[in-house]
Amino acid sequence: MHMTYSARHADIVLPVPSWLECEYPDITVGPENPFIHMDHGVMDSLYDTKQDGEAIALVAEKLDEKIPPEERNVDSYRAYFDKFLDDDKDVRDYIQETLDAGMTTRDIDVEDIEDGPERLQLKTYPRIPFYSQINEDRPFYTKTGRMEFHKEEDRFLELGRDDLDHIESPEGTPYGVNKKWDEAKDEENPLYHDEEYQFYYNTPHPKYRTHSSWGMTDWNLIWSSRDFGSTNADPEGTERLVDDFSFPQGEGETEEMPPLGEAFVEMHPEDAANIDVENGDYVRITGKRGDLVVRVMVSERQRPRSAGDMGQLTLWHGWWPQQFPDDEEQGDGVKGYNVTTNIWLDPAQETDDLVHKSVFGDPNISEHVEDDIVWQGAELEHGYEETVWAPTGTNRDDLVEVEKYEEADWWPGDARKDELVQDYIGGSLQGGDS
């Protein structure tokens, strides 16, 4: 756990426990996970923290004290959350109310998920897209009720988007950017043909993290950073990370020590040799929107420039900005893997002619749920909506240039030579005195 950027910019931060320290249970479920889980804490909280429900309840209690009854829109704000504050009440009642109100959980009891995960009440398992449309003759969420490969609305005609066509990238193409092939083939992208911009910059999702989650924990850094980290490195090279990797010792004190990992970009050995970069050295990556400094991992997995017009760089998604060193020559203080990337909003997504399924209403739930409930709210909605349409990032085909920044002052992998770290990785610290 650490101070995220949201917390750093907040006026008030309420301390919360980790999942391991939760005093009362909570439930979790995901859009691609057909099971609902109940999570329990397994240890006492280390610090003075409050779970979400209790924090909300305490705020509600204060609102009752501060706001006169005649000025409230309810009799008592606290009353709804009292189970979080009163010792003789059971917070699991809130979970049961939630289950009873859910279309896919209405027959699940708290006792069921206390014993283990329960599968949501869906018609199919695993989920089958468009099951109701294909098997039950339900309409698709379009104006015609059919799958549409041609649009006749004025805005789509105006944009030339009435048919399904390939459209060139907003940046990473040698041809006309963001245009259909018939038009793009006769144009050149000047950025692509600029001799300085010779690499595609990719930021795919890593296998070691879920986005940035766990990216600040030592055990994850050991995996995700491979050999790029050290517990005994030059402090000047790692002091930027100490604030986020300080280890609590109690009584508000911390033992400051460098982290076990650091962000890196993968580059083909041939391209690395061309700019006199060895494994572990730092490079500056520069694009139209900004630049960043990062370590290099020399890797045969990347495509070299000699294989085509462009080489390939891969910097895995989810690193935190403070895991990148400062660029002493630039000095703008902006860091992170997304500095060079761009966000592009498709104009076709901004038109009110666009229709989509509303957020609520799920036709793929169990046949045991009444039809009028299943389709309640499952109507068409018009226009842009962030939960359905969102800006498209060009973080798969940015064009960048790369130059050597500085040589590494210590060799990657030093952290693996530390006896304490070896014991930690090997699991021998568990239950010991270390």
**Structure confidence by residue, pLDDT tens digits, 373-413:** 666 666 677 777 776 666 655 556 789 999 999 998 765 45
pLDDT band at 237 (very low <50, low <70, confident <90, very high): very low
pLDDT at residue 19, as a whole number: 85
Say yes or no to pLDDT of 82 above 70: yes
Q: In terms of Cα–Cα distance, which of 9, 133, 53, 299 is closest to 142?
A: 133
CATH: 3.40.50.300, 2.60.40.1930, 2.40.40.20, 1.10.287.3510. Which one for 199-342+395-426?
2.40.40.20
Characterize 110-131 residue by residue with b for buried, 16 or more Cβ atoms within 10 angstroms of its Cβ, and e for exposed: beebeeeebebbbbeeeeeeee
Say yes or no to pLDDT of 67 above 70: yes
Say yes or no to pLDDT of 346 above 60: yes
pLDDT at residue 246, as a whole number: 42
Q: What is the pLDDT of residues 412-432, one digit of tens each?
A: 456 556 676 677 667 676 554
For the chain, give the secondary structure using H, E and C. CCCCHHHHHCCCCCCCCCHHHCCCCEEECCCCCCEEEEECCCCCCCCCCCCHHHHHHHHHHHHHHHCCHHHCCCCCHHHHCHHHCCCCCCCHHHHHHHHHHCCCCCCCCHHHHHCCCEECCECCCCCCCCHHHHHCCCCCCCCCCCCCCECCCHHHHHHCCCECCCECCCCCCCCCCCCEHHHHCCCCCCCCCCCCCCEEEECCCCCCCECCECCCCHHHHHHHCCCCCCCCCCHHHHHHHHHHCCEEEECCEEECCCCCCCCEEEECHHHHHHCCCCCCCEEEEECCCCEEEEEEEECCCCCCHHHCCCEEEECCCCCCHHHCCCCCCCCCCCCCCCCCCCEECCHHHCCCCCEEECCCCCCCECCCCCHHHHCCCCCEEECCCCCCCCCEECCCCEEEEEEEEECCCCCCCHHHHCHHHHHHHHCCCCCCCC
Please compute the mean of the pLDDT values over residues 125-144 and round it to a whole number.
85
Share of the chain above pLDDT 70, in %: 79
pLDDT at residue 415, as a whole number: 53
Say yes or no to pLDDT of 233 above 50: no
Q: Which of 6-15, 49-58, 77-86, 209-218 has the lowest mean pLDDT?
A: 209-218
pTM of this structure: 0.77
pLDDT at residue 373, as a whole number: 64
Say yes or no to pLDDT of 87 above 60: yes
Please compute the mean of the pLDDT values over residues 236-258 and round it to a whole number.
45
Q: In terms of Cα–Cα distance, which of 22, 23, 16 is closest to 1?
A: 16
pLDDT at residue 88, as a whole number: 82
Please compute the mean of the pLDDT values over residues 239-265 and round it to a whole number.
54
For the chain, residues classed under CATH 2.40.40.20 are 199-342+395-426
Q: Which of 173-177, 300-304, 422-426 has the lowest mean pLDDT?
A: 422-426
pLDDT at residue 241, as a whole number: 42
pLDDT at residue 236, as a whole number: 44
pLDDT at residue 410, as a whole number: 65
pLDDT band at 284 (very low <50, low <70, confident <90, very high): very high
The rounded mean pLDDT for the chain is 80
pLDDT band at 61 (very low <50, low <70, confident <90, very high): very high
pLDDT band at 244 (very low <50, low <70, confident <90, very high): very low
